[in-house]
Amino acid sequence: MGTDLHTPLGQQRAGPKKKRRIRIAAFASACCVLAIGALSVYGMLLPENIGGPVSDDAESAPEVAGATQATAKDAAATEAVNGMPRVGGRSGANVERTVTDDGSVVTKFSPRPRDGNGPALVDATTMGQDPRMATLPNEDLLEDSPYGRLPITGPDGLRPVDQYARPWSGARGTRIAIVVSGLGLSQTGTQRAIKELPEEVTLAFAASGNSLQRWMQEARRTGHEILIQVPFEPFDYPENDPGPGALLVENSPDKNLAKLHEAMGKITNYTGIMNYLGGRFLSNADALEPVMRDVAGRGLLFLDDGSSAQSLTGTLAKALEAPQAFADVQLDGQLDQGAILKKLDELERIARRNGSAIGVAAAFDESIAAIRKWSEEASLRGIEIVGVSALAKN
């Protein structure tokens, strides 16, 4: 102890420092041993070492090429998803993302087609449209023209009549389609029809109406199937004038097709064409045939309002293998709510006898009120109201 008193200040720590250095060196050595052991185990677990040593022959080349191709496909798929591509409704090749009106993104995944004789996959995208995207047209079903964007059959065979159809239950029961026409001519009447009529009711927009694109979007957003209504020449023309853009028997086929396309280009997302008047035109095969052929080629249905017993639309549609429907009852020949309700009861009797029936009316206040009242009671009697495309003969 006396010796420690004479030791220079700080020299007494020399012993502990030497011990600390020894401990640190031992710890470092242990870490090195563990690291070497871990690297050895990792090397033993590599894929090329599991089955034996890696050979330098050409058999390993396809595996490398396949891995490169897979990586390229993954990169392309990632790029496509991030780029939000537009793909065909039946292609099943990619992911489709669409920005809706409220800013949200709707993503639709479609499987690739199977090879061989495996089980068939039902393509749910070919009938109807996601309600969240109902205001947006399928770009594959449109072509640009001098008259606007016109409907066409898609490259994979998908038709507008299928894409924009209102889905129905598929049950075997009594089905009725009700079509309310003349929308777009009266702003208040159009608004009332879209707001008050059940979404199962089909709405037909007059080609000569106003603000059609806006009303179309509103109707589709609320679940309605829609048609475009085109004026045709009646028997008593020109005393009874269907309005501007009417298709006339005396016109050349090219001129009538130009008028038809002008009407078609007013809106999108419709399943077909409905006539306004047209007794003379629809009974003239030479005038009607080019029009029906064009409608059929574009994948649209033709709804005949049943106002002319001499109409040839059914005959030509059958010859052209085109979807076509024929109205059974004009509901509002007498503009009285009670009379319209009686016509709806008549429509129901026809549907129960034949399995289905189609009624047409104009967008008058009395018609809207009667259809709304009758529709509320129809489901209680086992009636299913469907879009008109569900009853079209194809």
Claim to verify: residue 187 and residue 91 sit in the same structural domain = no
Do 144 and 101 sit in the same domain of this protein?
no
Domains contained in the chain, number = 2
Quickly list DSSP for 373-387.
HHHHHHGGGTEEE--
Q: Are residues 98 and 178 in the same domain?
A: no
Same domain, 194 and 278: yes
Residue 67 located in a structural domain: no
* pLDDT reported for residue 98: 75
The HSE-up count of residue 211 (CA atoms within 13 Å, CB side) is 13
**Assigned domain for 173 exists:** yes
> Chain-wide mean pLDDT for the chain?
81
Query: Both 94 and 225 in a single domain?
Result: no
Domain membership flag for residue 329:
yes
Whether 221 and 260 share a structural domain: yes
The range of the structural domain enclosing residue 107 comes to: 74-112
Beta strands in the chain (DSSP E): 95-99, 105-109, 142-145, 148-151, 174-183, 202-206, 226-232, 272-277, 301-304, 324-326, 329-330, 356-362, 383-385
Instruction: Say which residue the tokens 């392309």 belong to.
Output: 76
Does one domain contain both 316 and 195?
Answer: yes
For the stretch 292-315, pLDDT in tens is 999 999 999 999 999 999 999 999
Is residue 275 a part of any domain in this protein? yes
Domain membership flag for residue 216: yes
- CATH code of the domain containing 152: 3.20.20.370
- Return the pLDDT at 343: 98
What pLDDT is attached to residue 71?
41
Both structure tokens of 344:
């709806």
Q: Is 269 contained in some domain?
A: yes
Is residue 264 domain-shared with residue 215, that is, in the same domain?
yes
Looking at the fold, whether 102 and 192 belong to one and the same domain comes out as no
Residue 96 and residue 236 in one domain: no
Query: In the structure, what pLDDT confidence band is assigned to residue 7 with cuts at 50, 70 and 90?
Result: very low
**Residue 374 placed within a domain:** yes
Q: Note the pLDDT tens digit of each residue in 35-89.
A: 555 555 445 544 444 444 444 443 433 333 433 343 443 444 333 434 444 444 4
Flag whether 243 is in a domain: yes
Do 236 and 90 fall into the same domain? no
Residue 86's identity, in one-letter code, is R
* Same domain flag for 97 and 149: no
Contact 274, 181 (CB under 8 A): yes
